[in-house]
Amino acid sequence: AKARHFKWEVEYMFWSPDCVEGVVMGINGQFPGPTIRAKAGDTIVVELHNKLHTEGVVIHWHGIRQLGTPWADGTASISQCAINPGDHFVYRFKVDKPGTYFYHGHLGMQRSAGLYGSLIVDVADGQKEPFSYDGEFNLLLSDWWHQGVHEQEVGLSSSPMRWIGEPQSLLMNGRGQYNCSLAAQFGNLSSCKFTGREQCAPKILRVEPNKTYRLRIASSTSLASLNLAIKNHKMTVVEADGNYVQPFSVSDMDIYSGDSYSVLFTTDQDPTMNYYVSARVRGRLPDTPQALTILNYKPNAASKRPSLPPPLAPAWNDYAHSKAFTSSIFARPGSPAPPRNFHRRIVLLNTQNRMNGLTKWAINNVSLTLPATPYLGSIKYKLWHAFEDRPEEDYDREAYDVTKPPVNPNTTAGSGVYNLRLGTTVDVILQNANTLTANVSEIHPWHLHGHDFWVLGYGEGKFREKEHEKGLNLENPPLRNTAVIFPYGWTALRFVADNPGVWAFHCHIEPHLHMGMGVVFAEGVHRVRDIPKSALACGMTARMFMSRDNSN
């Protein structure tokens, strides 16, 4: 194992992600940011310099559990203070598990601004993956708006709210095509003309016939749930969120924001042709053209047009198809099994609400508003006034009708935390409900920091302990860090609160989180030692450090 050092500068820059020039948040002049590649057991050291002129920044390493380094999790107001313009911060953490991960900004809507990149962890030297392949590709999926994020943020927190709408483009590795299509001959957009050097030219997947490739896929979308397919090629899913799964074969797959996967595919089709790889929007009435790239069989020219049309995606609201995919994911035999029993079960009701004319998302009727002092510091140093020390909220599970808009749509802002006892097994039931609009319930992909959880099951309507308990899968549930709740459904998760620190648990749809859709878990914070002071140089922790210094 070794330490891998990176020096990064974050700045805004002009870029044409989808052939239309806009402003993106880049790292070292690149968009998406540089790919980190490491081996399991390595230590990653990123010295992050904030070259933005007027705003702070942090970077979260999505899927990395940060065992023993909760201050390196990169969540503003939770694990650290935002890094000020002109200042820098050193992230130092271990990547303990091989897999496909990514990183992204975690302050305001900086992920939507394009602050993301891939993080790939190979098996340690001398170790082997439980499958083999001849080559690999990496697809980082995202969605892109022509309106800047600052306008989006202002819109979301205006009364009445101005919704961001559907993305103009879907990007693969930060590249999309607005107003033209690679598959022009099958659609009504004009044909894209590329030399290959444009910022928006697609990243072509060049393959040799009769080989097996690993495709790593991660989704950093702000909003879109996606369906990915390779024309005429089946994919075998082998990894999800950095955990091996029982291999299963699909012809298309759903990918929610925050998910990552590896699939294997074999180039066993007619090698005289090229084929489309496509990603389309699921779960929302699509208004965004599909993202496309080309699977280019050598020695065909990459510019040779595929003679078959791009794969057809299932209808956007074909939830049965999505559920079938999600429920075919099981842990690979030999993976750690969940404890048989839980110590505590938390039910989290997901609702859309109003607050003083604003539209909000709330969990058990509290819309998350982050405090100025990072919880990691305020809890460690017992600065109890740094956040709202309100008892954990519950709701009337019997009375609440999840099939109707809320009877009382008003919510309140809150910054309270859920205190978990270190070492205990915690179940979380994510309970979906109707939004403010009758007959509407949305998809929410929930992501947990600091842990993987077992996904014990999914169901329709209201979760009822008596009825649903026995149907939960304790035999081979997949370990993941992101799990979706389907419209009007529930999802049951289990994890062991064994990582001292303070951890966000939230909907990975950026505007939803921005509107309050998350909670904060704290466990064993008294055990956390050696938090770098630079992580806490703001708010009440900064004032505490100053008064201590003055007293000596």
Alpha carbon 423 to chain centroid distance? 26
User: Are the CB atoms for 96 and 65 separated by under 8 Å?
Assistant: yes
Q: Which is nearer to ligand C2O, 360 or 514 (CB)?
A: 514
Q: Smallest distance, Å, CB 198 to ligand C2O? A: 29
Least Å distance between CB 367 and Cu ion?
A: 13
Total residues in contact with ligand C2O, by rule CB under 6 A? 10
CA 364 – CA 356 distance, rounded (Å): 18
514 binds ligand C2O (CB under 6 A): no
| The only residue of 49, 360, 480, 508 in contact with ligand C2O, by rule CB under 6 A | 508
Alpha-carbon distance of 518 to 531, in angstroms, equals 24
Binding of ligand C2O by 462 (CB under 6 A): no
CB nearer ligand C2O, residue 278 or residue 481: 481
Q: Considering CB distances under 5 to 8 angstroms, the limit depending on partner class, which of ligand C2O, Cu ion, none binds residue 449?
A: ligand C2O
Of 65, 175, 444, 506, which one interacts with ligand C2O (CB under 6 A)? Answer: 506
Which x/- pattern over 52-81 shows residues binding ligand C2O (rule: CB under 6 A)? --------x-x-------------------
- Residue 94 interacts, among Cu ion, ligand C2O, none and using kind-specific CB cut-offs from 5 to 8 Å, with none
From the list 232-240, 248-256, 392-400, 500-508, the region that binds ligand C2O by CB under 6 A is 500-508
- 216 touches which of Cu ion, ligand C2O, none (CB within 5 to 8 A by kind)? none
Q: Tell the residue number behind the tokens 């058990």, with chain if given.
A: 364
Report the DSSP beta bridge partners of residue 412. Answer: 366
Among 206, 216, 30, 47, smallest CA distance to 122 is for 216
DSSP state of 399: T
- Residue 509 contact, options Cu ion, ligand C2O, none, Cβ 5-8 Å cut-off depending on partner type: Cu ion
Is there a contact between 371 and 540 (Cβ–Cβ < 8 Å)? no
At 542, the amino acid letter reads A
Structure tokens at 456: 């014990």
* 449 touches ligand C2O by CB under 6 A: yes
Backbone angles phi, psi at 168, to 5 degrees: -75, -35
Cβ-based nearer residue to ligand C2O, 230 or 502: 502
Candidates 83-91, 403-411, 491-499, 503-511 — which segment interacts with ligand C2O by CB under 6 A?
A: 503-511
Cβ atoms of residues 437 and 500 within 8 Å: no
The residue among 78 and 182 lying less far from ligand C2O, judged by its C-beta, is 78
Question: How many angstroms from the chain centroid is the CA of residue 194?
Answer: 31
> Nearest distance from residue 519's CB to ligand C2O, in Å?
12
Interface residues with Cu ion (CB under 5 A) are 444, 507, 509, 512
State the minimum distance, in angstroms, from the CB of residue 449 to ligand C2O.
Answer: 6
CA–CA separation, 446 vs 432, rounded Å?
11
**CB burial readout 219-251, b (16+ within 10 A) else e:** bbbbbbbbbbbbbbbebbbbbbbbbbbeeeebe
CB of 257 to Cu ion, least distance (A): 9
Interface stretch with ligand C2O, choices 151-159, 276-284, 438-446, 501-509 (CB under 6 A): 501-509
Q: Which of residues 77-116 bind ligand C2O (CB under 6 A)?
A: 104, 106
Identify what 508 binds: ligand C2O, Cu ion, none; CB under 5 to 8 Å per kind.
Answer: ligand C2O
> Quick one: which of 268, 265, 261, 252 has its CA closest to 310?
252
Per CB under 6 A, the list member of 109, 292, 485, 504 interacting with ligand C2O is 504
Q: Name which of 80 and 278 has its Cβ closer to ligand C2O.
A: 80
Q: Closest approach of Cβ 358 to ligand C2O, in Å?
A: 22
DSSP per residue over 408-461, as a string? S-B-EEE---EEE-TT-EEEEEEE----SSTT----EEEEESS--EEEEEEEES
119 binds, among ligand C2O, Cu ion, none (CB under 5 to 8 A by kind): none
Whether 388 contacts 370, CB under 8 Å? no
Query: Residue holding tokens 């980190």?
Result: 36
Beta bridge partners of 116: 104
Counting Cα atoms < 13 Å in the Cβ hemisphere of 264 gives 20
CB of 150 to ligand C2O, least distance (A): 20
447 forms part of the interface with ligand C2O (CB under 6 A): yes
**Tokens read off for 406:** 């809320």
d(CA 140, CA 217): 6
Structure tokens at 137: 């590709």
Residue with Cβ nearer ligand C2O (97 or 447): 447
Measured from the CB atom, is 106 or 514 closer to ligand C2O? 106
Q: Does 258 bind ligand C2O (CB under 6 A)?
A: yes
Beta strand pairing status for 3-15 and 43-50? parallel
Collapse the DSSP code of 201 into the 3-class scheme (helix H, G, I; strand E, B; otherwise coil) and give the result.
coil
Smallest distance, Cu ion to C-beta of residue 350, A: 7
Question: CA-to-CA distance for 335 and 550, rounded, in angstroms?
Answer: 53
Contact 433, 351 (CB under 8 A): yes
Residue 507 binding: pick among ligand C2O, Cu ion, none (C-beta 5-8 Å cut-off by kind): Cu ion
The binder of 512, among Cu ion, ligand C2O, none, by C-beta within 5 to 8 A per type, is: Cu ion
Q: Look up residue 332 and give its amino acid.
A: R
Minimum CB distance to ligand C2O, residue 103 (Å): 8
The letter for the amino acid at 407 is: V
- Residue 104: contacted member of ligand C2O, Cu ion, none (CB under 5 to 8 Å, by partner type): ligand C2O
Binding site for ligand C2O (CB under 6 A): 60, 62, 104, 106, 258, 447, 449, 504, 506, 508
